[in-house]
Structure 1
Amino acid sequence: MTEQSVRLWGARFRTSPSPELTALSRSESSYFRLVPYDLVSSLSHARELVRAGILTEAEAETVFAAIKGIGADYAAGAIEPSAADEDIHTFLERVLGERIGALGGKLRAGRSRNDQAANDLKLYLRDVARGLGADILVLQQALTSQAEAHVTTLAAGFTHLQPAQPISFAHQLLAHAQTFARDLDRLRDWDRRAARSPLGAAAMAGSSIAVQPELSARELGYDAPCENSIDAVGSRDHVAEFLFVTAMFGVHLSRLAEELFLWSSRQFRWIEMDDGYATGSSIMPQKKNCDIAELTRGRASRLIGSLTTMLVALKGLPFAYNRDLAEDKHAAFDTIDALTLVVPAMAGLIRTMRVNTDIMGKQSVDGFTLATEVADWLARTGVPFSEAHEITGALVRYCEDRNIGLEDVSDDDLAAVDVRLLPSIRSSLSPQAAIAARKGYGGTAPDRVLEQIIRLKTVLESQREWLSSHASPIAALKG
């Protein structure tokens, strides 16, 4: 078989492609991870060719066996693309032709690399979405387990990175778990829109041979074919949306990473990292660094960059297929590869960290975090909140001048600031009282936090069911 015969185009050209064109046009090595998805799509397409009368049942059986054999050999590393293979489709047609001769060439009827490329990546992303979802669940479980252990652990809540109010540390952990739960819900919602098959769109106008794409769609786990053949091959909003979901997740991971830096610092000392999830310094022997969080924060920038790349590639394209769309794979693969490493590492860091509850409890009242309790207490006694705010501010100044905390003021101190500050206010001036008072739905009161954990576990179970309900189409290669 000559090099010319394995190219999928070129008959109308008088000369071979230049070395520069060949180098630019050849798929990156990472793209060949789509081989199993192209093969399983070929199985489905072969059945369509039987229905169209292009293949006989006997020929189809030969094709099926060859395709499954190629899949097994590729997975085992027994075959690989050659330098002359322009892309996945060229590689697989070459190998198929080597194994079953001219019969392999029949498989190209009724389809185009345009619908194949769109379909391969979509199938891959739908599979990857479940793997990513499973990793997110493990991270959520790590946060939830730590939260269950620290429902009554006191901590300082922050706004503007300044001490604000006492909170349950579990409440702080669950704030991150809630964002990740929404990220996984976005992934589920994305999958619902992505469940349309591009097969049958061919180059852009549809196929005169593959005229029952709804059957191939069902075989590959889709809900239905795409409604419009031009849209099927020319749109990549499903890729852009996937990249948005992952970029948003990356941003949420980065925010958690930022807090882990603070919590593990000597200034905070809220948590201690397990040695297995920390690194040291090549020159400073005492260092214990939160490198997992730093690497996570760095990867988040790449996720945002991948989304930007895809949006910019799409913004000026005429319909239908344009080669610019090949950027979809680079952007998607870089994102997936980053998250495949980052998420399990972050889950392990959270799962194994040790919480210094005594230190957190002492810091929970630093910075006059009980000031709102004073203002609220005054408001409940009938003082207009605007006045209560001013009185409380004066009490804070009084304490600052004497280097004492609100929890340390005497009856005389209270009266010296304002006669309406009665000794009975003291029952509100503890971090335990402060968090117990925040007992509305979604508040930091321990009972509410426990209820939040119960509800979150219900959400996680629903997400787990969604993950387990998916069957990868590439399982057909082993059937």
Structure 2
Amino acid sequence: MQYFSGRFKEKADKLILDFHSSIGFDQRLYKYDILGSIAHVKGLAKGNIISQEEKNLIEKTLIEILDDIENGKIKFSIAYEDIHMNIEKILIDRIGDVGKKLHTGRSRNDQVALDMKLFAKDEVKIIQSFLIELLDEIKILGEENLKTYMPGFTHLQKAQPISFSHYILAYGEMFKRDFLRLENAFELMNYSPLGAAALGGTTYPIDREYTASLLGFKGPTLNSLDSVSDRDYLIEIMSSLSLLIMHLSKFSEDLIIYSSNEFNYIEISDGFSTGSSIMPQKKNPDAAELIRGKTGRVYGNLMGLLTTMKGLPLGYNKDMQEDKEAFFDSVDTIKGCLKVFIGMVKTLKINKDILLLACKEGFINATDVADYLTIKGLSFRDAYKITGEIVKYSIENKLTLDTLSITEYKKFSPYFFEDVYKYISIENCVEKRLSFGGTASKNIKIQLDELTLFLKRAKENLLNYI
């Protein structure tokens, strides 16, 4: 910041100005920089470091600058390097030497740390609001599809029948964890670095508890050196976002597979599909594919910041300027993906008849045949072996476990009776898995009740923040 310094004899080279400058991307922090400055100037006045009149003039002018920025009346300059110095220069231009008092007892080190925390707090809450909206849609699908049966998969092979509610609520659990991870990151970062100055605090009598409360923090950070060098909160949020987009990517992969002609379990609406430039029959799940593709981008941002931070000496270093573009890109990418994904889920069509038909192929009730024999008195291992032989026989004779006659069943074991057909019906296979967390409707209703309660608390939490 040579423009405010008496240390340098020569002007900075344009090359270093361009290379050094962050105004091209950190200008989006303007609101948080001004809010932080208003809190700081109030703290200066409270400590009698500046007069009440000076405080009023600076605060009034900062509010005017904020209004002018939001109305497009201000153009930032690369000559002043970053958003902090741009706003301070505009302030000084408007009110003269009184504006120079704003930076008393403050460094850009605690200033940028404060701006990023304020920005990150708001972004976390915005992303959580999208997660609430997504979970609301998942809850609706869960309530509507208690008796919609579908194959459950392992190794992408049909395994056992489940309900679509059970399937969709599995993703509900993932997104609940994503919400809670972001909440944890929010709580850990909710302490104000303002007043830490460059690294060792300030000699001025600034009440850090007061300025922290003005800005909605729990309190001030405890160690001034950690305050200016900490970027853990950004890394933790980006890690949480990486898990969140991983879940979106997994879900997108399911939608891509299940909407293909080979499956046709679900249909993505035309509004979230595209056509081919040459093949008129095509309906491509581009939105889901793009979300899946953007996952690598969010992972890359996380790895980039982790790598930047891993070897820095303690204290502020210019390398840390690299946190902004990576963090901005991650939150923007996540918000864009969530908006699109919520729209896809809202308009998703479930092909219930095809799902039920798919349950009757692939021997997905074979485990239930083995369970039937076990209940009749055989050991599970013997029952498992016999069932495998029955499946082999059925494949060779183009039969299913439902179309195999009781006479044929008895060839494999005398323990089979007519009640086997009811026992291995798809509905019964789903409904008799009563162990907690299993597929039975009783358990699904517990999950839905828990999700309802979770959403109620989450919405209250969000309203309290707003």
Task: Using structure 1 for the length normalisation, give the TM-score.
Answer: 0.95
Secondary structure of 1:172's counterpart equals: helix
After superposition, give the CA deviation of every residue in 1:395-453 in whole Å (9 maximum; x if it has no partner). 10010110111111101110122223333322212111100111222111123212211
Which residue of 2 is the match for residue 25 of structure 1? Answer: 20
Q: Which residue of 1 aligns with 2:422?
A: 427
Q: 1:175 aligns with which of 149, 166, 170?
A: 170
2:351 and 2:23 map into 1 onto residues whose CA distance is 48
Q: Distance in 1 between matches of 2:370 and 2:154?
A: 18
Match of 1:444 in 2: 439
Partner residue of 1:166 out of 158, 161, 168:
161
Residue 115 (structure 1) aligns with: 110
Unaligned runs of 5+ in 1: 472-479
- Aligned pair in 2 of structure 1 residues 340, 28: CA closer, same or farther (>3 Å)? farther
Q: Show the counterpart of 1:297.
A: 292
Q: Give the secondary-structure state (helix, strand or coil) at the position aligned to 1:406.
A: coil
Residue deviations 1:286-323 (CA, integer Å, cap 9, x gap): 11111111111111111111111111111111111111
Measure the CA separation in 2 of the matches of 1:28 and 1:277.
Answer: 36
Distance 1:103 1:116 in 2: 19
Number of aligned residues = 466
SS in 2 for 1:155: strand
- Structure 2 residue 137 is the aligned partner of structure 1 residue 139: no
The 5-angstrom pairing of residues 50-61 of structure 1 reads 50-61=45-56
Retained in 2: the 8 A contact 1:63–1:104? yes
| Structure 1 residue 80: Cα displacement | 2.1
| Cα distance in 1 for residues equivalent to 2:189 and 2:223 | 14
Superposition misfits of 4+ residues, deviation over 3 angstroms: none
SS in structure 1 of the partner of residue 90 of structure 2 = helix
Q: What CA distance in whole angstroms lies between the structure 1 residues aligned with 2:282 and 2:205?
A: 63
Q: Give the RMSD, CA atoms, in angstroms.
A: 1.3
Following superposition, the deviation at residue 53 of structure 1 comes to 2.7
Aligned residue in 1 for 2:66: 71
* CA displacement 1:159-178 (0-9 Å, x = unmatched): 01000000001110111111
Q: Report the identity percentage.
A: 36
Number of the residue aligned with 2:121? 126
Question: Structure 2 vs 1, CA of residues 100 and 147 (structure 1 numbering), >3 Å: closer, same or farther?
Answer: same
Q: Deviations over 1:211-253 (max 9, x none)?
A: 3111100110000111100000011111110111111101111
Which residue is equivalent to 1:348?
343
Q: Distance in 2 between matches of 1:299 and 1:460?
A: 27
The correspondence for 2:8, drawn from 7, 13, 24, is 13
Q: In structure 2, what is the equivalent of residue 239 of structure 1?
A: 234
Instruction: Specify the alignment match of 1:474 in structure 2.
Output: none
Match of 1:387 in 2: 382
In structure 2, list runs of 5 or more residues that go unmatched.
none
CA distance in structure 1 between the partners assigned to 2:461 and 2:320 by the alignment: 30
What is the rounded CA distance, in whole Å, between the counterparts of 1:197 and 1:300 in structure 2? 31
Counterpart in the other structure of 1:249: 244
Q: Deviations over 1:141-196 (max 9, x none)?
A: 11211121111001000001000000001110111111001100111111111111
Partner in structure 1 of residue 212 of structure 2: 217
Give yes or no for contact 1:414–1:423 (8 Å, CA) kept in 2: no
* Greater relative contact order (CA < 8 Å, ≥ 6 in sequence): 1
1:279 and 2:274 correspond: yes
How many angstroms apart in 2 are the aligned matches of 1:348 and 1:51?
49
- What is the letter of the counterpart of residue 318 of structure 1? P
- Amino acid of the structure 2 residue aligned with 1:278: S
> What amino acid is aligned across from residue 419 of structure 1 in structure 2?
P
Residue type at the aligned position of 2:17: T
How far, CA to CA, are the matches of 1:172 and 1:144 in structure 2? 12
- Matched letter for residue 197 of structure 1: S
